[in-house]
């Protein structure tokens, strides 16, 4: 369903026993499962085999069962309609009470063009052929007619919510069987998609894109009727990407801690599964991987994992999920041959769960099953001799990826780790220089994960360089008592090249405290205050000096 089940979740206490079915999506899944019972029964097969071949021509009149969505709960109605278009793969019917009011022949011709000949992405084929090539064959359950019916009527709106269209699996069983289902329904005994012609514009390209979405649901009914909702909806959203007019990438980027496999019928749920299946398709669908997932008997992660193996894709689902979470943040074609890129989508920035620019730093959080947290570390102010280390405590193993950015904003590398329990990582080694780091916490568990971390920066004494008497830096007094006027740094360098060189002072966290200009006398005075004009705290500090590759770093103490 597309924008159809959102309102109908309200109906569950009315339509069904709330103890048996707690959401409308579960109701839809239950109805689909019931159709399998009937389609596999001997009587159903007998009816199916006894049907004559059915074909329609323009002008044929039929009365269809459908739902009226202007009242809640929706009620079944019979609507007279006339065939207004016939193509190679479909018929277009329009409700008689809407003809030449909200839909006319020019509208039908445009719809037929999209259905049969072209999409917004290609002129090679239309929506129906596109979906069958990408996802699999269309069912032909009862009417002995390979063509589908697209039925346009006034779906209406309820409390401000309008409806694009829907696929009803009631139509995949006989009328008698539909009336015995829970809840009782009606069947037109044919492959049909219901689409709006009022109050929404039937020829708006987004309506055709939704039609591609609903057609995928019909194909998935045949391929694997019991498929998990997130997989079925993900493939349906992918159909809209293939068509060339996907849903906007909103909501989910604001909350990436939204479990990929849990479906709550929110718009963010549509977006997250659209991103996942688009990424999977672009990276690995060379030999009908998506089509094979649609027809895979196993469901959810198990089905996808099985098809990755069957299609000889050398990656586990856990690795795939981790790469996807990185791609959501980066969306960059220039890293690792496009491994973290979307070709068909432009992604906005993803929200952070944490941000640090001074160290030591600490934080904690929780991540839902198969969800993600992003944490940013600004490290551009660290001294070259600093090391950045992190300690983690997680209650379940997770994948931690570190994205390294250079000062230019270009990604330098992506390093992946698996952490469990208490873990320690050296994020930056002495001598390395980066602008920022992004920590990507990818929860590869079926349950939520809690985590905490501590991050610290230290200047490594091992990196201090020792020079001969021709190259020295001294400071006096050391220790420096702030009640004194200044501390003096004296430079002795026989190879001075640039008289504008500066001396830098860092604290033990590797943060730059002050930069001092060296005058013509190669001396610098410091009053013990930082850039804000406030006296620094007591403790150990480091001064560094670099002249054409020659560098020295030493320490001094500040006291009150």
Q: From first to last of the 560 residues of the chain, give the pLDDT tens digit.
A: 454 333 332 222 223 333 322 344 566 677 788 888 887 788 778 887 888 888 999 999 999 999 888 877 778 999 999 999 999 999 999 999 999 999 999 999 999 999 999 999 999 999 999 999 999 999 999 999 999 999 999 988 888 878 899 999 999 999 999 999 988 999 999 999 999 999 999 999 999 999 999 999 999 999 999 899 999 999 999 999 999 999 999 999 999 999 999 998 899 999 999 999 999 999 999 889 999 999 999 999 999 999 999 999 999 999 999 999 999 999 999 999 999 999 999 999 999 999 999 899 999 999 999 999 999 999 988 887 889 999 999 999 999 999 999 988 899 999 999 999 999 999 999 888 899 999 999 999 999 999 999 999 986 544 434 334 456 777 878 777 766 678 887 777 656 555 567 788 887 667 788 888 776 677 888 888 888 888 888 877 878 877 665 667 777 788 76
Q: Specify the DSSP class assigned to residue 462.
A: G
198's CB contacts (< 8 A; 6+ apart) are 98, 101, 102, 154, 155, 156
My answer on whether 402 and 489 are in the same domain is no
Shared domain for 418 and 495, answered yes or no, is: no
Tell me which residue has tokens 């009640």: 483
d(CA 337, CA 500): 42
pLDDT (0 to 100) of residue 209: 97
d(CA 103, CA 101): 6
CB contact at 8 A, 2 and 61: no
Tokens for 267? 């718009």
Which residue is it, tokens 């309609």?
A: 81
DSSP 3-state of 313? coil
Summary count for the chain: helices (H), strands (E):
13, 23
Contact, 372 vs 441, CB < 8 A?
yes
User: Are 190 and 57 within one domain?
Assistant: yes
Q: Are 381 and 353 in contact (CB under 8 A)?
A: no
**For residues 541 and 262, what is the distance between their CA atoms, to the nearest angstrom?**
51
- State residue 8's pLDDT score: 32
CB atoms closer than 10 angstroms to residue 546: 15
Counting the structural domains of the chain, the total is 4
The domain spanning residue 409 has which CATH number?
Answer: 2.60.120.380
Print the domain residue range for 519.
Answer: 468-559
CATH code of the domain in which 514 resides: 2.60.40.1930
Q: Write down which residue in 245, 269, 292 finishes a domain.
A: 245
Pair (372, 336) in one structural domain: no
Q: Are residues 237 and 254 in the same domain?
A: no
- Token pair 């280390």 in the structure block, residue: 389
Helix (H, G, I), strand (E, B) or coil at 512: strand
Residue 348: phi, psi to the nearest 5? -80, 175
pLDDT of residue 528: 85
Note whether 69 and 157 are within 8 A (CB).
yes
Instruction: Work out the burial of residue 300: count CB atoms within 10 Å of its CB; fewer than 13 is exposed, 13-18 middle, 19 or more buried.
Output: middle
pLDDT given for residue 554 in this prediction: 76
Same domain, 187 and 170: yes
pLDDT at position 6 is: 32
DSSP state at residue 96: G
**Pair of tokens at residue 81:** 């309609």
pLDDT, residue 495, reads 60
Both 394 and 507 in a single domain? no
- Nearest CA to 417 out of 429, 425, 428, 405 is that of 425
Q: Do 252 and 139 share a structural domain?
A: no
- How many CB atoms are located within 10 Å of the residue 141 CB? 21
For 393-420, give one letter per residue: b (16+ CB within 10 A) or e. ebebbbbbbbbbbeeeeebbebeeeebe
Do 362 and 220 fall within a single domain?
no
The last residue of a domain, from among 245, 262, 291: 245
| Closest residue by Cα to residue 169 from 239, 213, 221 | 221
Same domain membership, residue 105 and residue 55: yes
Q: Where are the beta strands (DSSP E) in 368-501?
A: 372-378, 386-405, 411-428, 436-442, 449-459, 471-476, 480-481, 487-493
Residue 250 and residue 274: Cα distance in Å, rounded?
Answer: 11
**Which residue among 195, 221, 245 closes a domain?**
245
Nearest to 157 by CA among 4, 2, 1: 4
pTM, rounded to two decimals: 0.80
Task: Indicate if 79 and 186 belong to the same structural domain.
Answer: yes
Residues 176 and 268 in one domain: no
Considering only CA atoms, which of 327, 322, 300, 296 is closest in space to residue 310? 296
Radius of gyration of the chain (CA): 32
């Amino acid at each position: 369903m597309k924008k159809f089940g959102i309102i109908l979740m309200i109906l569950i206490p009315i339509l069904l026993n709330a103890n048996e079915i707690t959401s409308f999506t579960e109701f839809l899944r239950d109805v689909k499962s019931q159709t399998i019972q009937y389609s596999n029964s001997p009587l159903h097969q007998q009816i199916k085999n006894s049907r004559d071949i059915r074909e329609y021509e323009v002008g044929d009149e039929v009365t269809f069962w459908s739902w009226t969505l202007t009242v809640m709960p929706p009620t079944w109605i019979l609507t007279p309609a006339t065939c207004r278009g016939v193509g190679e793969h479909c018929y277009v019917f329009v409700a008689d009470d809407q003809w030449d009011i909200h839909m006319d022949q020019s509208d039908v011709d445009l719809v037929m063009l999209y259905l049969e000949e072209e999409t917004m992405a290609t002129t090679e084929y239309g929506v129906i052929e596109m979906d069958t090539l990408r996802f699999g064959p269309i069912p032909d359950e009862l009417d002995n007619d390979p063509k589908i019916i697209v039925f346009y009527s006034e779906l209406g709106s309820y409390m401000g919510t309008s409806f694009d269209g829907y696929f009803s699996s009631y139509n995949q069983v006989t009328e008698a069987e539909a009336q015995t289902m829970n809840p009782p329904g009606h069947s037109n005994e044919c492959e049909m998609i219901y689409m709006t012609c009022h109050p929404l514009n039937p020829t708006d390209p987004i309506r055709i894109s939704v039609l591609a979405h609903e057609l995928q649901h019909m194909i998935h009914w045949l391929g694997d009727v019991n498929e998990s909702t997130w997989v079925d909806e993900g493939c349906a959203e992918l159909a809209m990407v293939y068509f060339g007019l996907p849903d906007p990438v909103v909501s989910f980027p604001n909350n990436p801690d939204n479990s990929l496999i849990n479906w709550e019928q929110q718009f963010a749920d549509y977006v997250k599964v659209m991103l996942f299946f688009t990424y999977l398709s672009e990276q690995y669908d060379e030999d009908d991987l998506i089509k094979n997932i649609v027809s895979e008997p196993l469901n959810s992660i198990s089905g996808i994992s099985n098809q990755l193996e069957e299609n000889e894709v050398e990656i586990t689902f856990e690795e795939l999920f981790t790469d996807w979470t990185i791609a959501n943040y980066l969306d960059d074609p220039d890293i690792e041959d496009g491994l973290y890129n979307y070709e068909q989508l432009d992604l906005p920035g993803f929200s952070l769960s944490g941000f640090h620019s001074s160290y030591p730093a600490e934080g904690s959080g929780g991540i839902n099953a198969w969800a993600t947290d992003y944490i940013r570390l600004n490290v551009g102010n660290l001294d070259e001799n600093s090391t950045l280390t992190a300690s983690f405590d997680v209650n379940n193993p997770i994948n931690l990826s570190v994205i390294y950015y250079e000062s230019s904003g270009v990604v330098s590398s992506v390093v992946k780790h698996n952490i469990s329990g208490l873990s320690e990582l050296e994020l930056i080694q002495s001598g390395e220089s980066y602008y920022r780091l992004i920590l990507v916490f990818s929860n590869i568990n079926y349950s939520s994960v809690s985590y905490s971390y501590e991050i610290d920066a230290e200047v490594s004494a091992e990196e201090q360089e020792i020079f001969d008497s021709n190259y020295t830096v001294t400071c006096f007094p050391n220790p420096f008592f702030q009640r004194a006027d200044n501390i003096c740094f004296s430079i002795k360098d026989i190879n001075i090249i640039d008289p504008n060189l500066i001396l830098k002072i860092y604290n033990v966290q590797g943060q730059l405290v002050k930069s001092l200009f060296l005058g013509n006398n190669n001396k610098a005075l410091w009053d013990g205050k930082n850039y804000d004009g406030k006296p620094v705290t007591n403790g150990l500090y480091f001064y560094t000096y670099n002249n054409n590759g020659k560098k020295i770093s030493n320490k001094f103490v500040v006291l009150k």
